[in-house]
Amino acid sequence: MADEPSAAYDAVADSYSRALDPDGTGLRDPVLAALIGLPAGKAVLSVACGQGQDARLLADLGARVTGVDVSEGMLSHARRHEASRPRGITYVHGDAQDLAAFAEASFDGAVCHMALMDIPRLGATLRSIARVLRADGWFVCSIVHPCFQGHVDIVSDYLVDHRYAKRVPWDWLPTHAYHRPLSAYVNELASGGFRITRMVEAHHDRSSEGVVPGLLYLRAVKTAA
């Protein structure tokens, strides 16, 4: 199990939970919800679920949800929200890079919301997600857009995979993440056995101006072996 992401989010778990969805209402992201579609009755894995806001979104959409995260600190808040307002979500301590707690073909779909850029081994993570999905299973993810100016120097560093210091004014996020160019995500998804079916580029808030998007959303489907 990777130590770095665990330590990073354990250190900010309390402040992160206070800043995002402190009352446990759940994530409100219409783009993500539209890409997820209609998961009612389906078994869905929330990968790197953190304090559970996207897991709660999935449950509110009718899915049977399991959340997995490497940070026990974040999971403690997810379980607290589940206890105060049960949605039938199961939370498991585990690493997205191997998903060792889950058997092959355990889920109909998977979601990873704003987390892939915090995980060191992208390829291992996507292969693990493919492994636990059933045939024709779907995967939806959102990340900070690789070309976002507040994320990385788009002139000199865009094509270089590297660990970077986050340029954000908030103290409720870990200080570092991992930049990869868009081609890395596309190629690793393909290598992991996925076919991309939709991509959405969006600003991180509706008041943003300019031509560089802040967020990238992808929907992919597991291809036949």
* pLDDT, tens digit (0-9, with 9 covering 90-100), for 115-154: 999 999 999 999 999 999 999 999 999 998 888 765 555 5
Averaged pLDDT for residues 94-101: 97
pLDDT score recorded for residue 1: 37
- Asked whether the whole model's pTM tops 0.85, one would answer yes
Q: Where are the domains of the chain?
A: 3-222
69 in Cβ contact with 6 (< 8 Å): no
Buried (b) or exposed (e) across 154-188, using 16+ Cβ within 10 A?
eeeeeeeeeebebeeeeeebbeebbbbbbebbeeb
213-224 confidence digits (pLDDT tens): 889 999 999 997
The CATH fold assigned to 3-222 is Rossmann fold (3.40.50)
17 burial type by CB count under 10 A (0-12 exposed, 13-18 middle, 19+ buried): buried
